[in-house]
């Protein structure tokens, strides 16, 4: 089976991926104005502070949107479709993208018609192993 490409962290996002390697989900937060920041940035987009820190988040979220890639897709994804990509909003207010997985973190090969979820469905963080790289993914709450 083909695998998805493994992320290549840059200097700004490296602390996120270091936490992910330990199966911890962290997001930047500004100590000055307390705003959360996602995607990783060198300065706070709200107040301009260069002192962003990384804080743990709950991993609890709500589905905002989703899509299902279908053929034709990039060759790296041919053996994996269909699967569901979710846009979720964490309870902390940050939106992230991840794949729909089962409770054990296994990628669900589905077009979404056999899984009950919709906008507003509650999901929980699960960790999916992608060729030795842990990836934050989401499972529907039961």
Question: For all residues of the chain together, what is the average pLDDT?
Answer: 92
CB-neighbour burial class of residue 119 (10 A; exposed 0-12, middle 13-18, buried 19+): exposed
CA distance linking residue 131 with residue 18, whole number of Å: 16
Task: Indicate whether 64 and 48 sit together in one domain.
Answer: no
Among 56, 72, 95, which residue terminates a domain? 56
Reported as a pLDDT band with limits 50, 70 and 90, residue 44 is very high
Structural domain span for residue 36: 8-56
Question: Does residue 100 surpass a pLDDT of 90?
Answer: yes
Q: Do 67 and 132 share a structural domain?
A: yes
Hey, CA dihedral for 62, 57, 37, 102, is it positive or negative? negative
In this structure, are 17 and 72 located in the same domain?
Answer: no
């Amino acid at each position: 089976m083909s695998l998805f490409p493994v992320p290549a962290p840059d200097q700004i996002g490296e602390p996120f991926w270091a936490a992910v390697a330990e199966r911890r989900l962290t997001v930047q937060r500004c100590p000055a104005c307390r705003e959360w920041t996602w995607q990783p940035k060198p300065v706070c987009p709200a107040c301009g502070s260069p002192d962003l820190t990384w804080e743990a988040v709950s991993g609890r979220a709500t589905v905002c949107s989703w899509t299902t890639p279908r053929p034709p897709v990039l060759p790296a994804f041919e053996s994996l479709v269909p699967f569901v990509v979710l846009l979720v909003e964490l309870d902390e207010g940050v939106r992230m993208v991840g794949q729909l997985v089962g409770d054990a973190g296994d990628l669900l090969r589905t077009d979404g018609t056999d899984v009950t979820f919709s906008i507003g469905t509650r999901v929980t963080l699960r960790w999916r192993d992608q060729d030795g790289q842990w990836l934050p993914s989401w499972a529907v709450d039961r």
